A = this chain, B = another copy of it.
Amino acid sequence: MKKVLLRDVAEKAGVSIAMVSYVLNGQKTDRINKDTAQRIRDAVEELNYRPNFLAQSLKLKKTFSLGFIAADIANTFSSQLARIISDEADRAGYALIIGSSDESKPRFERLIDQLLNRQVDGLILAAPDGSEELIKALQTRKIPLVLIDRYFPELPVSSVRVNNYQASFDAMTHFISEGRKKIGILVFDTGLHHLNERMRGAQDGITQSKAAAYITHLINENQIEQEVPAAIQSMLKQDVDALYFTSNKLGIVGMRYLMNQQIPVPVKMSALFFDETEVFDFYPNPLPFIRQPLKEMGKKAVELVFQQMNEAASAAESVVLETTLVQSHIDQ
């Protein structure tokens, strides 16, 4: 029942451990005697030998593991992404260690520290507000990393994200073409660039149409349960006839309020969401939303981080993916 080592296999096959290692790793295959190789493979099989990952990692300076720090793993967006990234990493023989910054910079910093201590080979990060300097520092340390969802416009670092500005712009255009006159935009009061882009895109889209007006409400992330209802209330008084929720968290709180107040959507007030949530399943009327291509995002992120890992001096590459405006969650 003891752990079987290279040494045991070598002994059984009557060779040195080097030979076993060579055969297992498919090296020097031209040199090694065919019979010996077979004998070794048989011994490996028979003893059910499994190389010790730690020893390998130590020697090869490669742990075959990636780190992913989500923004908030309790949020469906993050957990779905985690799932996809995990599967994708797995496919390449890499394990994924997942952390959640909960949008806290110190926590983010601590998690990075831990992941690096554990010598992960690469990082996929949903960087919180204010972490720009930290990312920059990681880059000068040549740590392979890719930002996902979040990004910093001035920082030359690989990232995967969606067309936040354009998606919001187009969504508003469409909203207006349906006859909306006054649109309320709800967005977190944050330095996070991607969220501000969603706001800007929406504002510009509305402005450009010349057929509608908008009111923007900045929501404090920690006061969301209070401020979203307050914002909606105030907008109702100003005859807002459509709401744009720039994140799923805002959307969920907002919809809950609208339901409690028995304000029918989209009859009296229409609503559009960035991101979908399974919560929509339980709403009887169509709820349009902007869908991010999660699968592609995850895949691409893994691809980019591998690229960083393999090519020492690989240039930063930013991938911007397209969203889709889904008219109704009901018929998908």
Question: Using Cβ atoms and an 8 Å threshold, which residues of chain B touch A57?
Answer: 54
If A282-B280, A282-B283 touch, whether A53 touches B117 (CB-CB below 8 Å) is yes
Complex Cα distance A95/B252, Å?
31
Please name all residues of chain B whose beta carbon is closer than 8 Å to the beta carbon of A136 when the two chains form the complex. Answer: none
In the complex, A83 has a CB within 8 A of chain B: yes
Cβ contact within 8 Å between B96 and A53 = no
List of B residues within 8 angstroms of A50 by Cβ: 116-117
Interface string of A43-85 (1 = CB under 8 A from B): 0000000111111011000010100000001100001101100
Copies of this chain held together in the complex: 2
CB of A302, distance to nearest CB on chain B (Å) = 16
Q: Which residues of chain B come closer than 8 Å to A92, judged between CB atoms?
A: none
Task: Tell me the complex Cα distance, A119–B53, Å.
Answer: 7
Identify which of A99, A114, A281, A282 gathers the most chain B CB atoms within 10 Å of its CB: A282
Q: Which residues of B contact A140 (CB under 8 A)?
A: 1
How far is the CB of A123 from the nearest CB of chain B, in Å? 14
Q: How far apart are the CA atoms of A79 and B76 in the complex, in Å? A: 9
Is A255's beta carbon under 8 Å from chain B? yes
Contact, CB under 8 Å: A97 / B100: no
By a CB distance below 8 angstroms, the chain B residues around A282 are: 255-256, 259, 279-283
Those 6 A-B pairs whose CB atoms lie nearest each other, nearest first:
A282-B282, A54-B58, A79-B79, A282-B283, A53-B118, A279-B282
Starting from the known contacts A50-B116, A95-B97, A98-B98, 14 additional A-B residue pairs (CB-CB under 8 Å) come to: A50-B117, A51-B117, A52-B119, A54-B54, A54-B57, A54-B58, A73-B86, A74-B83, A96-B97, A255-B281, A259-B284, A277-B278, A279-B282, A282-B283
23 example contacts (A-B, Cβ-Cβ < 8 A) are as follows A1-B142, A52-B58, A52-B119, A53-B117, A54-B58, A54-B119, A73-B86, A74-B80, A86-B98, A86-B99, A86-B100, A95-B114, A96-B97, A97-B97, A98-B98, A252-B278, A255-B282, A256-B281, A259-B282, A278-B278, A279-B282, A280-B282, A282-B283
